[in-house]
Amino acid sequence: MLGLNKRDTSLLIIVAILTLLAPFILNPFPEGSAMAQFNAGYPDLMQRFVIFGIFAIGFNILFGLTGYLSFGHAAFLGVGSYSAVWMFKLLSYNVVPAIALSVLVAGVFSLLIGFVSLRRSGIYFSILTLAFAQMSFALAYSVLSNPKFNLTNGETGLQVYADDPQILQSASAPNLPHLFGIPMRATYTLDVGAWSFDFNAGYYLCAVIMMAVFYLSIRIFRSPFGMMLRAVKSNQQRMNYTGLNSKPYTLAAFVISGMYAGLAGGLMAAMDPLAGAERMQWTASGEVVLMTILGGTGTLIGPVLGAGFIKYFENIFSKINDNVLHSWFAFLPDGLEDAVVFLIHPFIGKGWHLTLGILFMLVVIYLPGGLVEGGQRLMGWFKRKKPGADDAPKGKTEPAE
């Protein structure tokens, strides 16, 4: 189906089902219960899941296939956000032109940076991309916020004002980001008993786009172009000895990856029409590296899992405070309750990074292939043995040819 083999088609269908049913899957606990703290089915967080999933999928095309580790991909995320907001300011709040411009501008920007950075490989390439990202951050934060040509509005962030031209904005259109009249914030809430499920227009726009770019990433992975990128990762020097020039392939991968990041930045602005320089900081670049490694570098679904995992911890564990812990352990004697809260306190709230760091360390040590490897191991444990498998001769070897 759609030019994919059976296995890839099954994977695409699974991703589509999980994405479309996310409001149900991410709200397993009744509202008002003690465990409702762990529900993640509200629109803002679901949007972050898919937007950063797109960001990580694009980064994986570069890092997972070629082995080139970029520490500057946040620059393209920020450029995409600024481009989308400028489209809102100049034309209208319709998200289609804004998203299109964010992808186009990020592609041109990544072409320029990639052309220079790819003259080196290994750690030198990583440092060059980091340097470009930090220069981009400095430009957005100070230089381009000069009153004479204010393109970024500095630390305040770029946003839409009432006196902006918006030459194509009609009086009947919503005065906020929309898709041909459908506001991105439009949400339908379904109450079923003690459960509450939110269906948000902005989330489903991001979800459909994520499924489209996920399908595109599968085609890239399975294409001859993807095979050439794997050859670069395997042994670029040997590939060059055969007479093949690897630079066009790595540059193309870099540009595609940058366009994915620009798309993610444009969607972030479409959900919240504000662009700030903090999206271009080195920490944002490091975050997408963690997402990809945590999920499974070089796998198709791994980056999406890694993005969801990190954003879940960032938004759920960071909200847990001592009051929540005391309500959970109120059944314990007072002294024991205080002791348990004291032990858990460093790992929640502002200390959620500590919990994430420990989990990341455990995954890297025991699951080098990331969460995807963990899932494969679980499937292997639960998979039934084939009939007659135990009757196969053991210890038999074949002569080398």
- Is pLDDT above 60 for 66? yes
User: Which residue has better confidence, 163 or 269?
Assistant: 269
Share of the chain above pLDDT 90, in %: 58
Give me the sign of the Cα torsion angle 172, 178, 182, 187.
negative
State the Cα–Cα distance between residues 65 and 125, nearest whole angstrom. 16
Query: Tens of pLDDT along 231-266?
Result: 999 888 888 888 888 899 999 999 999 999 999 999
- Is pLDDT above 70 for 396? no
Would you place residue 20 in the very low, low, confident or very high pLDDT band (cuts 50, 70, 90)?
very high
Count Cβ atoms below 10 Å from residue 69 Cβ, excluding itself: 18
Query: What is the per-residue pLDDT for 35?
Result: 83
Query: What is the per-residue pLDDT for 112?
Result: 96
Do residues 220 and 256 lie in contact, with contact meaning Cβ atoms separated by under 8 Å?
Answer: yes
Match 């529900």 to its residue by tokens.
39
Pull the structure tokens for residue 52.
């950063």
**Cα-based distances in Å from 162 to 30, 98, 166, 169, 392:** 41, 18, 9, 12, 76
Would you place residue 398 in the very low, low, confident or very high pLDDT band (cuts 50, 70, 90)?
very low
- Which uninterrupted H or E stretch holds 114? helix 95-117
Would you place residue 397 in the very low, low, confident or very high pLDDT band (cuts 50, 70, 90)?
very low
Query: What is the per-residue pLDDT for 400?
Result: 38
State the Cα–Cα distance between residues 383 and 274, nearest whole angstrom. 48
| 19 half-sphere exposure, CB direction, 13 A CA radius | 27
**How are the residues of the chain apportioned to helix, strand and coil, as percentages rounded to the nearest 5?**
70, 5, 25
Query: What is the per-residue pLDDT for 385?
Result: 57
Q: For the packed helices 74-90 and 282-295, what is the interaxial angle rounded to 10 degrees?
A: 120
Query: Tens of pLDDT along 344-391?
Result: 988 888 888 888 889 889 988 998 889 999 888 888 888 765 555 455
Considering only CA atoms, which of 81, 84, 63, 71 is closest in space to residue 133? Answer: 71
Do residues 258 and 107 lie in contact, with contact meaning Cβ atoms separated by under 8 Å?
Answer: yes
- Taken in order of first residue, the domains within the chain and their CATH numbers are 6-28+38-280 (1.10.3470)
Share of the chain above pLDDT 70, in %: 95
Average pLDDT over residues 164-192: 90
Query: Tens of pLDDT along 262-320?
Result: 999 999 999 999 999 888 988 889 999 999 999 999 999 999 999 999 999 888 888 88
Query: What is the per-residue pLDDT for 401?
Result: 36
What residues does 197 pair with on adjacent strands? 190
DSSP structural state of residue 35: G
Coil, strand, or helix at residue 196?
strand
Query: Tens of pLDDT along 73-106?
Result: 999 999 999 999 999 999 999 999 999 999 999 9
Do residues 274 and 119 lie in contact, with contact meaning Cβ atoms separated by under 8 Å?
Answer: no
Match 């963990």 to its residue by tokens.
374
Q: For the packed helices 302-316 and 282-295, what is the interaxial angle rounded to 10 degrees?
A: 120
Residues 6 or more apart whose CB falls under 8 angstroms from that of 84 comprise: 95, 98, 99, 101, 102, 265, 266, 269, 270, 273, 275
Q: Say what the pTM is.
A: 0.91
- Is pLDDT above 70 for 394? no
Strands 178-179 and 274-275: unpaired
Question: Average pLDDT over the chain, rounded to whole?
Answer: 89
Query: What is the per-residue pLDDT for 387?
Result: 53
Query: What is the per-residue pLDDT for 168?
Result: 87
